[in-house]
């Protein structure tokens, strides 16, 4: 049903009609999300609908109905599963979206409790998973149930028993005779990625996202199918408890649950006041990409249970807790047009030009469609309403189109047969999904992208050589290849827009500094297809000098870690090509140089072979990148976050929460001198 019109000054009848539509629409989305595990819109759009209804009901209480979504939780249980009556309601949480709303929540809470001191909160990441209630009787798990509508859920014990981290019997002391443990079921990101990779190799269906994957696993009739998704569980509270242990705070409850053998999120902290909450939010937001689980915000709960009792709860949410959401990573917007852009390897990529939308902390007006096959699979056309995703610093992409909102029958965008930049032929190789311009560096777009890649931070690191300046150099014919950069003069640069003596001199100095580099950086800068920074570093370590690498056979290249048949073939073909050989020689003639080394031993014989390390804190006398390169050269692997699979945490000065997590998990902690001693072995 389409939404009713929204005039500037709506009458009471219009407001009532709008409220009715919002109630029905939110109920529909609740059913899709909670019962069918098939959400139609992003969480941000659902939040916007819910907040609009709540504002309407707040200003017009006569519009509140008993069945309003603001008066209930989630959706009722499915008839496919036995209903379970919760001993205590499983309430949802109210959301806040910025620091101002958090301050308002804190002030409102202050008026509900007697304690006038600064409030202490238990803060934890808000996992994007599925709420679960576990009933233990005399320490034995007897039932697992979903949230449902908050009062009645679904019995999913058969699936929950496949979660390895979930204890069937509680251990330790002071175990209540009967207790409902509340927590979140989630699919770890490494398991999600592995599942989809396996599905792609076997021709199976990929999972949409980790949250849907977890919900779908719990609703599997066959426990073996649920077990394939490798679910995990974090406990974060309790419902009804008989024979309550003497626990007065959330922080103590979490420690007690850990002693019973339940898994608790290691990122939980006790913070003071609004400033403490804000600091915790910033820390988790900055590190969100490093966790092995999806999260969409943080949760704050009053730490003291007696103050929670004073604050109370509404029919659907406690007044003593709130969730602060991260900036939406998915939003709805409209496609203005579909155009094509050409990359440095000639890849012709369809790009959706969008109505600007704020998503993932930035305003997005363009989003990639990856390749023509993806464009067809997602059925994206000009004028469509689409879901756009931007997570962290990832390039924005169109996740899916909503064809049910399409007006008319817009045409399917055609596959280009000519390059939009230079008019050359576009070819689509049989074994690839990406169409490519065949012109090479004759194509201005490929030339621009190749120069920008050459000058990028991970390559030659030429500060000041950005997209606009590169565009002018190509347009005026001053650079046909990277070696031309080293022949630029002050007069030539001064003739470009927004360039004067000082800025031109600074750029020339940066170009001169880049001549002294490393073989790994040089190889990455060449832009050999599929040779990223890690592969370039591995090639440089193994062969030691450019001459040895240029003479290497495919068999020798295949001996390098992370180099497979495709990459070996591309490296060999690159150095065998006459134009590429000429380009490399021109760079050497321009004065680029680096230390020549002997071939490095095989990393598999290194002292850290097969070991996983995490770096934290400031190291003395070496950068984080240098430490990473030395570890990889010794056969080790460096990851961003600490887990049970971590062998060593290398802790420099001012090590943060990673050290605490390593101590909790029993991971061995090394200081810098111990790391260096290992590397020397």
CB 329 within 8 A of CB 296: yes
3-state SS class at 484: helix
Beta-carbon contacts of 127 under 8 Å, excluding residues fewer than 6 positions away, are: 184, 186, 234, 265, 293, 294, 295
Q: What is the 3-state secondary structure (H, E, C) of 304-352?
A: EHHHHHHHCECCCCECCEEEEECCCCEEEEEEEEEEEEECCCCEEEEEE
C-alpha to C-alpha distance for 674 and 661, rounded to whole angstroms: 20
| Packing angle, helices 624-633 and 672-680, rounded to 10 | 30
Opening angle at CA 642, ends 638 and 643, nearest 5: 110
CB 344 within 8 A of CB 453: yes
C-alpha to C-alpha distance for 441 and 477, rounded to whole angstroms: 12
C-alpha to C-alpha distance for 595 and 583, rounded to whole angstroms: 20
What would the DSSP string read from start to end of 259-272?
HTT----TT-EEEE
C-alpha to C-alpha distance for 184 and 178, rounded to whole angstroms: 20
Residue that is written with structure tokens 């939406």 in the block: 328
Q: What are phi and psi of 546, to 5 degrees?
A: -65, -40
DSSP state letter for 641:
S
Closest by Cα among 382, 238, 328 to 44: 328
Opening angle at CA 235, ends 230 and 237, nearest 5: 155
As a 3-state breakdown, the chain gives helix, strand, coil percent values, each rounded to 5, of 40, 20, 40
> Considering 126, 301, 378, 661, which one is annotated as catalytic?
126
- Give yes or no: 658 in active site: no
Closest by Cα among 325, 308, 302, 268 to 88: 308
Catalytically active residues, by annotation: 126
């Amino acid at each position: 049903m389409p939404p009713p019109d929204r005039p500037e000054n709506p009458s009471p009848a219009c407001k009532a009609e709008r409220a009715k539509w919002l109630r029905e629409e939110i109920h529909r989305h609740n059913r899709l999300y909670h019962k069918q595990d098939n959400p139609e819109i992003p969480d941000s759009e659902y939040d916007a609908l819910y907040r609009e209804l709540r504002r309407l009901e707040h200003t017009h209480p006569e519009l509140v109905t008993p069945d309003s979504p603001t008066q209930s939780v989630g959706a009722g249980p499915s008839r496919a599963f036995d209903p379970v009556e919760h001993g205590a309601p499983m309430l949802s949480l109210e959301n806040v979206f910025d620091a101002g709303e958090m301050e308002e929540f804190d002030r409102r809470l202050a008026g509900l409790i007697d304690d006038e001191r600064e409030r202490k909160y238990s803060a934890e990441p808000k996992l994007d998973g599925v709420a679960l209630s576990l009933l233990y009787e005399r320490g034995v798990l007897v039932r697992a149930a979903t949230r449902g509508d908050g009062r009645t859920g679904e019995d999913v014990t058969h699936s929950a028993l496949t979660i390895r981290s979930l204890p069937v019997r509680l251990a330790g002391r002071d175990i209540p005779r009967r207790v409902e443990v509340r927590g979140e079921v989630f699919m770890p990101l490494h398991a999600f990625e592995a599942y989809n990779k396996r599905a792609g190799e076997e021709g199976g269906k990929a999972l949409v996202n980790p949250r849907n994957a977890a919900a779908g696993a719990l609703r599997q009739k066959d426990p073996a199918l649920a077990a394939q998704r490798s679910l995990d569980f974090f406990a974060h509270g309790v419902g009804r408890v008989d024979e309550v242990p003497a626990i007065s705070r959330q922080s103590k409850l979490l420690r007690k649950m850990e002693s019973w053998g339940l898994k608790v999120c290691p990122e939980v902290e006790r913070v003071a006041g609004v400033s403490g909450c804000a600091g915790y939010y910033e820390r988790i937001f900055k590190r969100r990409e490093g966790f092995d689980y999806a999260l969409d915000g943080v949760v704050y709960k009053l730490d003291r249970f007696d103050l929670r009792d004073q604050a109370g709860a509404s029919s659907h949410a406690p007044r003593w807790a709130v969730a602060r959401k991260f900036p939406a990573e998915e939003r709805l917007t409209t496609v203005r047009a579909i155009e094509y852009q050409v990359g440095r390897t000639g890849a012709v990529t369809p790009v959706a030009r969008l109505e600007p939308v704020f998503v993932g902390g930035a305003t997005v007006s363009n989003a990639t469609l990856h390749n023509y096959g993806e464009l067809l699979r997602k059925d994206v056309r000009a004028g469509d309403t689409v879901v756009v995703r931007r997570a962290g610093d990832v390039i924005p992409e169109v996740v899916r189109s909503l064809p049910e909102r399409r007006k008319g029958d817009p045409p399917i965008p055609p596959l280009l047969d000519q390059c939009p930049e230079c008019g050359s032929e576009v070819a689509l190789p049989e074994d690839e999904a990406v169409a490519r311009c065949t012109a090479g560096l004759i194509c201005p777009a490929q030339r621009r992208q190749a120069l920008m890649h050459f000058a990028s931070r991970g390559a030659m690191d030429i500060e000041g050589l950005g997209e606009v300046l590169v565009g002018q150099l190509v347009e005026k014919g001053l650079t046909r290849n990277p070696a031309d950069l080293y022949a630029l003069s002050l007069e030539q640069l001064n003739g470009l827009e927004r360039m004067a003596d000082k800025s031109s001199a600074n750029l020339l100095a940066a170009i001169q500094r880049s001549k002294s580099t490393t073989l790994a950086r040089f190889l990455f800068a060449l832009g050999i297809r599929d040779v990223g920074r890690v592969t370039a570093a591995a090639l440089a370590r193994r062969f030691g000098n450019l001459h040895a690498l240029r003479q290497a056979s495919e068999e020798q290249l295949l001996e390098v870690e992370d180099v497979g048949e495709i990459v070996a073939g591309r490296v060999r073909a690159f150095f065998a090509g006459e134009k590429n050989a000429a380009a490399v020689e021109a760079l050497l003639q321009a004065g680029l140089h680096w230390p020549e080394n002997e071939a490095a031993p095989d990393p598999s014989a290194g002292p850290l072979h097969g070991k996983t390390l995490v770096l934290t804190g400031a190291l003395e006398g070496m950068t984080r990148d240098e430490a990473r390169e030395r570890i990889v050269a010794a056969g080790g692997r460096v990851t961003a976050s600490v887990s049970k699979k971590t062998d060593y945490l290398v802790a420099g000065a001012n090590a943060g929460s990673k050290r605490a997590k390593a101590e909790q998990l029993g991971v061995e902690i090394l200081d810098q001198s111990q790391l260096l001693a290992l590397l020397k072995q």
